[in-house]
Amino acid sequence: MHELSLCRSISVIAERAAAGREVTTIHLDVGELRQVVPETLTYCWTIVREDTALADSVLCVNQIPAVIACDDCQAQTRMRGIPILVCGSCGSGHVAVVTGEEFLLRSLDVRG
Ligand SMILES: [Zn+2]
């Protein structure tokens, strides 16, 4: 499972960042294009955290919408449904992804 290996990576980074402090919440930014199901990610975390110093922590997943920018009309539109790289304003295919590819450990809440 893809989410399980992501959680292992998160635990390594979070343990290092926590430096022995007790972590209560781990805040993640996850782009829509990352094909990650937030519920699956938080469930996998409950398995992975058991083997770490982060056993009392929870994941808080902030999903970032996929937005594309059009080279032809300069519009920025939200990608909808099946990701298709077409401008939502003029229909041009000359677009670039602005947001939606994030996978970022944004912050940790620590006790005390
Ligand atoms: Zn356009």
Both structure tokens of 7: 């959680």
CA–centroid distance, residue 33 to ligand 1 (Å): 20
Strands 95-99 and 76-78: unpaired
Digit-coded pLDDT (tens) for 81-100: 666 789 999 999 999 999 99
pLDDT of residue 105: 96
pLDDT at 80 over 70: yes
11 alpha-carbon distance from chain centroid: 14
Q: Which domains does the chain have, with CATH numbers?
A: 2-107 (3.30.2320.80)
Q: 81 C-alpha vs ligand 1 centroid, how far in Å?
A: 18
68 Cα to the center of ligand 1, angstroms: 10
CB 69 within 8 A of CB 96: yes
Does the pLDDT value for residue 35 go beyond 90? no
CA 79 to ligand 1 centroid distance, Å:
12
* Residue pLDDT, tens place only, 40-53: 999 999 999 998 99
How far is the centre of ligand 1, averaged over its atoms, from the C-alpha of 57 (Å)? 43
Element (H, E) at 9: helix 2-18
pLDDT of residue 28: 97
Give the pLDDT of residue 82. Answer: 64
How far apart are the CA of 46 and the centre of ligand 1, in A?
43
pLDDT at residue 1 greater than cutoff 70 = no
